[in-house]
Structure 1
Amino acid sequence: MVDDNSESIEAHEVVLDVNNGASKNCEESVIKDSVPLLKKLVAEVVGTYLMIFAGCAAVVVNLNNDHVVTLPGIAFAWGFTVMVLIYSLGHISGAHFNPAVTIAHASTKIFPFKQVPAYIIAQVLGSTLASGTLKLIFNGKEDHFIGTLPAGTNLQAFIIEFICTFFLMFVISGVATDNRAVGELAGLAVGSTIIIDILFAGPLTGASMNPARSLGPAILYHEYTGLWIYLISPILGALTGTWTYNFIRHANKPMCDEHTKIELTKIVPFLRRSRS
């Protein structure tokens, strides 16, 4: 029995330690790659096909209709196509669509080396199929070479392609491989970079930034002028871009590993009055 005027006080110690909880959440957030290689390759073929088809179709339509699409229109066609494909296929294959990107990722161990040859074959296949489709649709007077050719000297084209791909891969490394960036905006950032590159490099080199983009049309149209530039320069630019970002990266470990330990050991009195 307790008197009416008596009070019982219970003290509870509340300890908040988010360090352990964060570690657990970090471990749970690591998702193993469970997508079969075949499905990844199909995604790369389809993604590369759609990218080349939409981008090159804009080029052909522009040539056949008094430049109605314009250079900015072509740039936006490429950029928006890549953006939507990243959001739709990025979680399946990584949305490379570009041998230079695949090789660059493999060089930093973000992507397994053993899958590189298969990815490159899938990307070149997608580009070749898209080029063949466009060649069937636009024939006769409407048939134009949809590949990439240097407008100036080979040296100028080589440097421009190197810089364009460096810029592209630098952005990809920042928004897609560093989980401290806003990953949801990766597609927008990469697509915008492609638009910028095409706006200044399109009239000079075609702004390929992608060996598969240049190789597919070259195979279909048997036009190999300056092709070596578009095979070598983008790969070198991508490698330099990703390694430059890795050099300036603040930390290689995920953000969730950089915990701030917070401990609250304040005694909180909890008054409970009970009456009989």
Structure 2
Amino acid sequence: MSGVEKIRTKEFWRAVGAEFLATLLFVFLGLGSTIGWHDAASGTSPTPPPNSGGPPLPDHRVLISLCFGLTIATMVQCFGHISGGHINPAVTLAMLVTKKVSIVKGAFYVVAQLVGGITGSALLYLITPEKRRGTLGVCTVGEDINEGLGLLVELLLTFQLVFTIFATCDSKRTDLGGSASFAIGLSITIGHLFGIPYTGANMNPARSFGPALVMLSFDQHWLYWIGPILGAIIAGLLYDYLFCPDCCKPSPGQVIPKAQTGTYKEVDRDGPDSMQMVKRKKRTERKDPPPTREVLSTV
């Protein structure tokens, strides 16, 4: 469970490096969409970034939401096969609590994500003109929203994100189709479309910690840790132990590997609990499924 023996392997450090680079790019590109720029050609004033003295205009809210959502979908697609594509300390902690990653890997992932968030924020700070930086996307709660409500909003937004991750990346499911990375990106987009006016739609401690450290602005910063972490852990535990504890059970007609004992389980249509051990039948002259797999017949 500790995973100490993995530290000396190349795969371990490749995965940690992937989390660093993915978080760096995610924070850099996502925060970049919050910068307000003056359109000299049309003579319009710059769109106010979130939490910089005024609410973001609807079109700018859509821009920010799509940028964060598409960026996370791209990063998961690029780095998911290397590190799992967590790119979020809250996601890593949820995976740790549900025993999907070791303690050592989880700790290194969180450090890599935080350093990546800081680096991405610092790079954006360096390339952005001073008069355009604003708050650099530092998250604060919206007007007329107290810290308690902000905490609840962050908890719920992160809950739906992590529940989506667990549901779309569940290796025990046989009904999944499409792209898991795209589904996760949509979840991020939905969270931003709803949450920007409330809390800035953080859902990721690395995303909030990076600009907060660069701008030395830590007002209300605690809720951007507690809310996402609580929401992620609750989502992971509920999915694994309540909503999908038996998703590994085969359904009628499902193809499963043979047991080494020469028997296999046959599923009854009357319910998933109506199962019996059936002796393996001898193969006939007609074409059968490959010898390593057996098709479940229904009773």
TM-score w.r.t. structure 2 length?
0.72
**More RCO (CA 8 Å, sep 6+):** 1
Which amino acid counterpart does residue 65 of structure 1 have in structure 2?
Answer: P
Of 244-253 and 106-115, the range deviating more from structure 2: 244-253
Q: Report if the CA contact (8 A) 2:47-2:60 is conserved.
A: no
Of 105-114 and 61-70, the range deviating more from structure 2: 61-70
Identical counterparts, % of pairs: 29
Which contiguous aligned blocks of 4+ residues in structure 1 show a shift greater than 3 angstroms?
61-65, 252-269
Q: Give a deviation string over 1:85-142, Cα, whole Å, max 9, x none.
A: 1111000011111100001001011111121221111001110011111111113211
Q: CA RMSD in A?
A: 2.6
Q: Would the alpha carbon gap of residues 169 and 266 (structure 1) be closer, same or farther in structure 2, given more than 3 Å must change?
A: closer
Distance of 1:251 and 1:178 partners within structure 2: 13
Distance of 1:75 and 1:147 partners within structure 2: 15
Q: Does 1:188 align with 2:163?
A: no
Q: Report if the CA contact (8 A) 1:62-1:70 is conserved.
A: no
Q: Would the alpha carbon gap of residues 212 and 266 (structure 1) be closer, same or farther in structure 2, given more than 3 Å must change?
A: closer
Deviation, 1:178, is 3.9
Aligned match of 1:248:
243
Specify the SS of the correspondent of 2:138: coil
Aligned match of 2:216:
222
| More helix, by proportion | 1
Q: Would the alpha carbon gap of residues 86 and 35 (structure 1) be closer, same or farther in structure 2, given more than 3 Å must change?
A: farther
Q: Which has the larger radius of gyration?
A: 1
1:165 to 130, 137, 158: 158
Q: Report if the CA contact (8 A) 1:51-1:78 is conserved.
A: yes
Aligned match of 1:156:
149
Aligned match of 2:11:
36
Distance of 1:95 and 1:133 partners within structure 2: 22
TM-score w.r.t. structure 1 length?
0.78
Deviation, 1:61, is 4.0
Aligned match of 1:94:
84
Deviation, 1:65, is 3.4
- The correspondence of residues 206-217 of structure 1 with structure 2, limited to 5 A, is 206-217=200-211
Distance of 1:257 and 1:159 partners within structure 2: 45
Aligned match of 1:199:
193
1:66 to 20, 37, 47: 47
Structure 2: gaps (5+ residues): 1-8, 39-44, 49-56, 251-255, 259-263, 267-277, 287-299
Q: Report if the CA contact (8 A) 2:37-2:132 is conserved.
A: no
Aligned match of 1:114:
104
Which amino acid counterpart does residue 127 of structure 2 have in structure 1?
Answer: I
Which amino acid counterpart does residue 49 of structure 1 have in structure 2?
Answer: L
